[in-house]
Amino acid sequence: MGGQTPYAALRNMFNKVKPYLSMVSLQFGYAGMFIISMVSLKHGMSNFILATYRHLAAIIIIAPFAFLLERKIRPKMTLPIFLMIVILGFLDYILLDHNPLFVLLYYNLTSATYASAFLNIIPAVTFIMAMIFRLEKINVKKIRSMAKIIGTAITVMGAMVMTLYKGPIIDFVKST
């Protein structure tokens, strides 16, 4: 420990594992969200109402942090910025958010496992699209580029294993 107090050593260790704990917590959060969503949809809740509740919960949780931590570094709200936010908000809510997945869950056309796997490959698809549109520069001689390529491959393979594996069915909600 080299003269560090136990508290400082524990804080250093926590700072090193914080990103990993965050990612694991995020995955548990997504899994829980899809299980709760599936239960809500099976009990008759509209997928649009469910998405609206999710957005309201996100605003209530995230807005105070954004207001307190970013109020001095925010750019001025101009009309073009406001219009871009509105357009992206509508596109995200209708097309890009979880609405398509909620519709599939509502009509029992997919499972919570597939929905969770689908969300896990979004960063990989984004990276591939950035490569296609030449927004991402790839140099296979550099370690950062190789890490991105390997991470994308692992993400896609993990999602494929998650959706294609035929294991025992665990039914949290009994269909009646």
pLDDT digits over 63-88, tens only?
888 888 887 787 788 899 889 888 87
- pLDDT band for position 143 (cuts 50, 70, 90): very high
Residue 115 lies in a domain: no
- Is 114 contained in some domain? no
Please, what's the b/e burial string for 52-90 (b: 16 or more CB within 10 A of its CB; e: otherwise)?
eebeeeeeeeeeeeeeeeeeeeeeeeeeeeeeeeeeeee
> 155 pLDDT exceeds 80?
yes
Domain count, the chain: 2
Beta strands per DSSP E along the chain: none
Q: The whole model's pTM is what?
A: 0.54
What band does 146 get if pLDDT is binned at 50, 70 and 90? very high
CB neighbours of 158 closer than 8 A, spacing ≥ 6? 117, 120
Predicted pLDDT at 159: 80
Over the stretch 37-49, which tens digit does the pLDDT of each residue have? Answer: 888 888 888 877 8
Domain end, chosen from 109, 130, 147, is at 109
The percentage of residues in the chain with a pLDDT greater than 70, rounded to a whole number, is: 88
Note whether 101 and 32 are same-domain residues.
Answer: yes
The pLDDT value recorded for residue 79 is 92
DSSP 121: T
| Domain contains 55 | yes
Last residue of a domain, one of 75, 109, 143: 109
Structure token digits, residue 44: 């008759």
**What pLDDT is stored for residue 53 in this prediction?**
85
Q: Tell whether 76 and 155 lie within a shared domain.
A: no
Same domain, yes or no: 90 and 130: no
User: In terms of residue numbers, what domain contains 36?
Assistant: 10-109
